Amino acid sequence: MPTTLADTQNLLSDLIARYSSRVDYLMIRLEEAEGTDILLRGDKVETLSEGISIGGHIRACYKGGWGFSGFNQLSTIKDRIEEAIAAARMVGDEETLLAPIDPVQAVCILPLIGTDPRKVPLWQKKQLCDRYTDLLKSVDPHITTTSVRYGDSAQRIILATSEGTLIEQSWVDMEMRFAATARNGETVQTGRETTGSRKAYEDLINLDEQVKSAAQRAVAALSLPSVKGNTYTVVIDPILTGLFVHEAFGHLSEADMAYENPDILEVMTIGRRFGPEELQIFDGAAPEGHRGSYFYDDEGTPATTTQLIKDGVLVGRLHSRETAGKLEEAPTGNARCLNYHFTPIVRMTNTWIERGKTPVADLFTDIREGVYARNWLGGMTNGEMFTFSAGEAWMIRNGKIAEPVRDVTLSGNVFQTLADIEAMGDDFYWDESGGCGKGGQNGLPVGCGGPSLRIRDVVVGGEI
């Protein structure tokens, strides 16, 4: 990649000027990335690597048809531009509809507030993983399997378009994942913790209590009774709220899902009521300091904050320029790609439910028999249906938290569940552990958050 923005500007401006007249829209994205990946399973090192990658991609649009070509040798860029243009002209037979944005020229660096992980040697990162592995194993003899994963990546992106946009943007992202499995005879339980940061390496080095808690939960669950499967009033903590709003609702708010599926578009009708008047849901990359934050998306659209639900009513959705153009709505800055191997698609950034007004202790009031669920263990969604596994849970009896239970899964229809929210806590927590997957682009950093929620009539799976 050229070493200065001036060099890049000259190169890309010349290429754009030479080729843009042959298509309706042309974009060149260059990327330089470096990162570390460490994976320890018990005492075995499965991955220990540092890498640097340089590449880019071309996107061309002609009469609504898109051409895409990627490369990792700058010397081939002209051939790749020709390929993308040829592909677009081959498939285009309608009208190019891209919501307008103002062209911009900018250099943007998401600042770190502490140590850059690129300044930390590989042996020191490995030493950190070893220490966390020892912590997981030291909790109890019943711990049979552990895993610790460390990853960091630094990306520098340069984006140029036929509309006059030229943006250089860079950031650093870090993540750690921990898991411990405990066994007692035929009973096996797992505890997990994940954390991430775009602020400082120091955010990863003082996680002892969080790491040990994953193993402690696994061991404690060995002797707990399974929850009795039933329909309960449930209180969930902010981490599960964040997971719910991202996985169950957020993906349905991505406009490519709605545009490509008439059934979803009909369900996700702007103006439809989905929850109580207290319910406010947002997504946006504009809030600073989170893992889904940036200045411009991968189409050069400025980051925004988009309100999706206002006073319980659907008022917005997330867009690329193309989905915004086709649905005649405003672009929201949600076109993202994992790296230069992929084309940008509509993705969430930081997604959250606004805090409520109910003191958390009052969420449990008058629940004769219910379930209090915290943290997450896993989950899946299928359209508007979801199933999540809680990391830990307790029964609620006569308005009080009672005995702990295990094997708690929460299932339901996202729209019915939103309608069944009875109260929203006055607490709030940002979970920076998210790595979102969609369209084969897995591990895209996101943030999510929210307050504790009280929800009636939740199907809780466990022992029948």
Q: Clarify whether residues 156 and 244 are in a common domain.
A: no
Can you give the pLDDT at residue 2? 53
Domain boundary among the residues 222, 244, 268 is at: 222
Can you give the pLDDT at residue 8? 74
Can you give the pLDDT at residue 10? 84
For residue 144, give the H/E element and its range: strand 143-161
Q: Clarify whether residues 217 and 236 are in a common domain.
A: no
Can you give the pLDDT at residue 325? 96
Range of the domain at 198: 5-222
What angle is formed at CA 105 by the lines to CA 101 and CA 107, rounded to 5 degrees? 125
Can you give the pLDDT at residue 1? 55
Can you give the pLDDT at residue 363? 98
Single out the residue of 307, 326, 328 nearest to residue 253, CA to CA: 307
Can you give the pLDDT at residue 4? 59
Domain boundary among the residues 190, 222, 254 is at: 222
Can you give the pLDDT at residue 89? 97
DSSP state of 301: P
By the 10 Å C-beta count (0-12 exposed, 13-18 middle, 19+ buried), 4 is classed as exposed
| pLDDT averaged per 10 residues in sequence order, the chain, 464 residues | 66 94 97 97 96 96 97 94 98 96 95 96 98 97 97 96 96 97 95 95 96 96 95 97 93 89 88 96 96 97 98 98 96 97 97 97 97 90 90 97 96 95 97 90 95 97 63
Domain containing residue 81: CATH number: 3.30.2290.10
Q: Clarify whether residues 164 and 272 are in a common domain.
A: no
What angle is formed at CA 304 by the lines to CA 10 and CA 276, rounded to 5 degrees? 165
Q: Clarify whether residues 274 and 164 are in a common domain.
A: no
Q: Clarify whether residues 200 and 258 are in a common domain.
A: no
Q: Clarify whether residues 245 and 204 are in a common domain.
A: no
DSSP state of 245: I
By the 10 Å C-beta count (0-12 exposed, 13-18 middle, 19+ buried), 435 is classed as middle
Q: Clarify whether residues 170 and 236 are in a common domain.
A: no
Q: Clarify whether residues 95 and 171 are in a common domain.
A: yes
Residue 433, amino acid: S
Q: Clarify whether residues 215 and 305 are in a common domain.
A: no
Block residue for tokens 């084309």: 343
CA atoms within 13 A on the CB side of 63: 10
Q: How far apart are CA 347 and CA 324, in angstroms?
A: 13
Q: Clarify whether residues 180 and 305 are in a common domain.
A: no
Q: Clarify whether residues 198 and 266 are in a common domain.
A: no
Can you give the pLDDT at residue 7? 77
For residue 7, give the H/E element and its range: helix 5-19
Can you give the pLDDT at residue 260? 81
Question: In the chain, how many domains are there?
Answer: 2
SS (H, E, C) the chain: CCCCHHHHHHHHHHHHHHHHHHCCEEEEEEEEEEEEEEEEECCEEEEEEEEEEEEEEEEEEECCEEEEEEECCHHHHHHHHHHHHHHHHHHCCCCCCCCCCCCCEEEEECCCCCCCHHHCCHHHHHHHHHHHHHHHHHCCCCEEEEEEEEEEEEEEEEEEECCCCEEEEEEEEEEEEEEEEEEECCEEEEEEEEEEECCCHHHHCCCHHHHHHHHHHHHHHHCCCECECEEEEEEECHHHHHHHHHHHHHHHHEHHHHHHCHHHHHHCCCCCECCCCCCCEEEECCCCCCCCCCCECCCCCECCEEEEEECCEECCCECCHHHHHHHCCCCCCCEECCCCCCCCEECCCEEEECCCCECHHHHHCCCCEEEEEEEEEEEEEECCEEEEEEEEEEEEECCEEEEEEECCEEEEEHHHHHHCEEEEECCCEEEEEEEEEECCEEEEEEEEEECCEEEEEEEEECEC
CA atoms within 13 A on the CB side of 423: 18
Domain boundary among the residues 173, 195, 222 is at: 222
Two tokens at 291? Answer: 């893992």
By the 10 Å C-beta count (0-12 exposed, 13-18 middle, 19+ buried), 127 is classed as exposed
Q: Clarify whether residues 349 and 212 are in a common domain.
A: no
Q: Rounded to the nearest 10 degrees, how much is the dihedral formed by the CA atoms of 21, 22, 24, 26? A: -80
Q: Rounded to the nearest 10 degrees, how much is the dihedral formed by the CA atoms of 316, 317, 323, 325? A: 10
